[in-house]
Structure 1
């Protein structure tokens, strides 16, 4: 066996000539029994080169010896067994590779060996296999120290050990005096050997952002060009600002006294949930035209307030009543809550977080609850638990929309009934 042989170079050379090494229990195996063993039982990795391949020689290396491959994930140099095991499992997927590492480590434990196969990260495995295959140049793998660095580090470490072991006095870690040139040189050589073995650590910027500062101003400019152009193409002409709760005169308290017999418009609250079948883009066509259209198929607008006019029963109003539809009570004044006549819900209680009545029992005692779901689907248990205060209706999923009008009329009848209960009648 040759101690000066590099394990990684030998393994790379044997793979190049398609002559893989053999695990063995002996440095010079004499029987087949010494070779027919698992990698966990092996103590040597035997390389047999023919005369045509490398002059013909036999090399056996301890399978537990460290190699030049350094795993950043494990923060250590990887032994020869781990390197050869990774090569044997080069075709395995990550999960199977991890399971195989656990299995061989269990074998090592049962064999009474205080050794483990190092599990490499995906990038480390890929680079190691490509390097052994010859797809990566000798000094191009970031995880493998070059032979020159390896020899220099070993020599400096041996010199430092000999320097410490050779003298009787301790080496004092201090700056030697200018007059003591020999002591200063001796100390500098020792420090140089120590510093050569240190691992270079990066600061926060180099770890998170790399060694070079990146300028992303070009990316921001490109994104702005793409998105702003797309927005301007979708909206070629300026449109007036969508009405909101704060700039809508119908929701502000009147400056002048209201006319006799006139009441403020009733308010219908919608669910802001994305899973709601009825939202701001399609609620008006549903309640006015009696036809359901999915929100994704309707023209979206930025308005958070809508108006619709409905002719109700004469005992409520002899004139058409204008309703205000909003999906958030963010800008509500305290008196607005007395005008809420219906609340559309999906059964999610977070919708009521900013409501005056956050408890569903209190909310639906003061306003009609409306749940609209798909026909054939199960009504949420939360909606069932709210009882008769919530009107439960369903619409068809198909294209035939002639039943939508019946659902809409049921909603308006229930709203009229709740308005009578709140004293909206006779005006």
Structure 2
């Protein structure tokens, strides 16, 4: 298969889905032995018949970061380190860059921002079919050929998923062959215009009276706003381009005394059941969960990103923060955009979760109604006689927290296809 016909990003995703091996090698020979990543020049994808498909490890992919395509080595390295915390991933990438320089290579590993890394891993493992950072496949022939080839070369012998160009959905490789023979229908432009160019300039003359009335109405509204002493708002374009709705972010407390950490927050907010937090120093410090918010978008769930640290935050990420979990310790906010509690909780919903019957920290009391104060039953080992194993109150507390978050999101202007309008 020619290199131009290979989609490295799709090859890697299909290899992960099929459970086949991906071997870094120094040459493109099919019998080449595995080599450390700094010395590797190719990634070889195992096929069902024992053959391998070599792909240059420096090949660019459709994943775009800062308007530049990311190479296959960086994608593969991010997947290998998907389970580690963001600071450990950055340290490992720095070490790999040093090793690449030692062997005389000018290549470097791209360090993904935490949102980019989350989107990439979610897409590679098949949990998501879209990513704002991945460009669509170039053409039906290229993507179809790459999908069919990659799907037919799996070690399991079963049909591996393949990609239908322009649709982003994984399909059987045999269907990809059938789809390649489809007769392509035209889009709405070709249907309206046909095979001959049509001059619609006369429509402008017909629309001119209506446009002049609209402009006059806008001018009157601006004048009235000026008389009232209000600043006129900027007018929107007639056909604004629909933007992708951003994912809301929930910040967790990094304090070791916090009852909810990345190791147990998902089971609490999704299943309504508290389990003790474990030491997650070696685990990922961000995760995501889905929840349908009927008042914002009843047709599709929102994906919430939960993260403990703000090291990889960009300025625009703060517009997406919808809640902050706290233990009442102000040092948590030192690296935040709003680093004082009084300022922070004017913009973001605060949440404190403590044991039922224990005193509330003084900091939480001082911050007032802007911080939701929730208490849960103390944890007891189910093996202890008389222990409460039902924990039915946990779901009630979890729903109270979601109610506060969703109320805050509505106040901030979250809509079906847009994020917050008030910060």
TM-score tier by shorter-chain length is: 0.3 to 0.5
Larger relative contact order (Cα-Cα within 8 Å, sequence gap ≥ 6): 2
Report the structure number with the largest CA radius of gyration: 1
TM-score, normalised by the number of residues in structure 1: 0.41
TM-score, normalised by the number of residues in structure 2: 0.41
